[in-house]
Amino acid sequence: MLALPATPRNKPRLAIVVPCYNEDEVFAYCQRELSHLLDTMVQEQAVQPDSFLLFVDDGSRDATWAQIKNACAKNQHVQGLKLSRNVGHQSALLAGLETAVRQADAILSIDADLQDDIQAIPRMVEAYRAGYDVVYGVRESRQTDSWFKRATAESFYRLMTAMKVRQIPNHADFRLLSHRALTALLHYTERNTYLRGLVPLVGFPSTEISYTRGLRTAGVSKYPFRKMVALAVEGITSTTTAPLRLIAVLGLCICLLSLAAGLAVLVQKFNGATTAGWPSLILSVFFMGGVQMLSLGVIGEYIGKIYLETKHRPRFHVESFIGGTAD
């Protein structure tokens, strides 16, 4: 259940954080549309005049950083943050959030492809001013997705719900956070980061803003099927231990099944009805072998995360920053 709002607020200094990876083809459109929207909101006195855009270059191999620098030179409301290498969408987004929280009252994140409707941003700011600390952008439908992507996404959300993971369905990383909510979020220091599962843990008054997701104007998606599967595994193993419990339940069920089969064999033996069963023997060996390999794989995934967490490695390194007053 979403929390109720607190005391209404004054117009904020808004930061719009945009992680970018090889967005050369779409950057000009993204920067133009967001700058125009920000100027309009300033003119309508919805946000402070010193609100800004922060583009985070996640180790792009094309001209993305050159375009960010050019935009910073031409527009005082644009800032750029360049990471030393590609660290992935979630870590790049966190780098931008950590930078923006030092300068802004409300911080909004959106992907560079602008498939998320930017016209929902004024409504999200209104919700912030009404007293909400967390404003989720939620898709009304997934009609722009392929049948396969819709089916897998819906299955994933149902699976996460079954595992008791707190997550907003049809919400990605299009959200607005107040300064205090983001400060609380940044206290979660794990390296295996899944923001969609962490943000609901922060608490504070929250609400949802629905919007219609559009088509990508240029470039290609940075989340192919392989990365979608990796994100799903990250989300499950970073937020719940339900798979480990499932292995324990599966092991118990197999033990009970084996006990029942053993009793049946004993009954047949005393009745003199035992027969040679090579196929059943081979099938049972392969079945148990598969279960053991799957169980070891799930356990290994969790052990690997423990291994990475104990190293306390930094999530990212900043190569350069342009614009603004961030340290």
CA distance 64 to 78: 14
Cα maximum dimension of the chain = 92
Query: CA end-to-end span of the chain, whole Å?
Result: 37
Mean pLDDT for 72-91 is 88
- For the ranges 94-103, 200-209, 224-233, the lowest mean pLDDT is seen at 224-233
Q: Tell me: the pLDDT tens digits for 36-71?
A: 999 999 999 888 999 999 999 988 888 899 999 988
SS3 content of the chain, % helix, strand, coil (to 5): 50, 15, 35
- For the ranges 35-39, 205-209, 220-224, the lowest mean pLDDT is seen at 220-224
The per-residue pLDDT of the chain, averaged, comes to 78
- For the ranges 196-200, 212-216, 232-236, the lowest mean pLDDT is seen at 232-236
pLDDT of residue 199: 84
The CA-CA-CA angle for residues 270, 271, 275, to 5°, reads 95
pLDDT of residue 55: 94
pLDDT interval class at 234 (50, 70, 90): low
Q: Tell me: the pLDDT tens digits for 165-199?
A: 677 777 778 899 999 999 998 888 777 777 777 88
Q: Answer yes or no: is pLDDT of 255 > 80.
A: no
DSSP state letter for 209: E
The CA-CA-CA angle for residues 124, 125, 130, to 5°, reads 95
Q: Answer yes or no: is pLDDT of 82 > 50.
A: yes
Across the chain, where does the E strand assignment appear? 14-20, 52-57, 78-83, 106-109, 134-139, 175-178, 206-211, 318-322
**Token digits of residue 117:** 């409707």
**Residue 52, Cβ neighbours under 10 Å: how many?**
23
pLDDT of residue 283: 59
Q: Answer yes or no: is pLDDT of 327 > 50.
A: no
pLDDT interval class at 242 (50, 70, 90): low
CA distance 325 to 320: 13
Q: Which residue has the tokens 């148990």?
A: 288
What is the SS3 assignment for 253? helix
Q: Answer yes or no: is pLDDT of 208 > 70.
A: yes
Q: Answer yes or no: is pLDDT of 151 > 90.
A: no
pLDDT of residue 38: 92
**With the C-alpha atoms ordered 253, 255, 261, 264, is the resulting torsion angle positive or negative?**
negative
Domain residue ranges in the chain = 14-239+314-322, 242-311
* Cα 23 to Cα 3, 16, 54, 133, distances in angstroms: 36, 17, 14, 30
CATH architecture of 14-239+314-322: Alpha-Beta Complex (3.90)
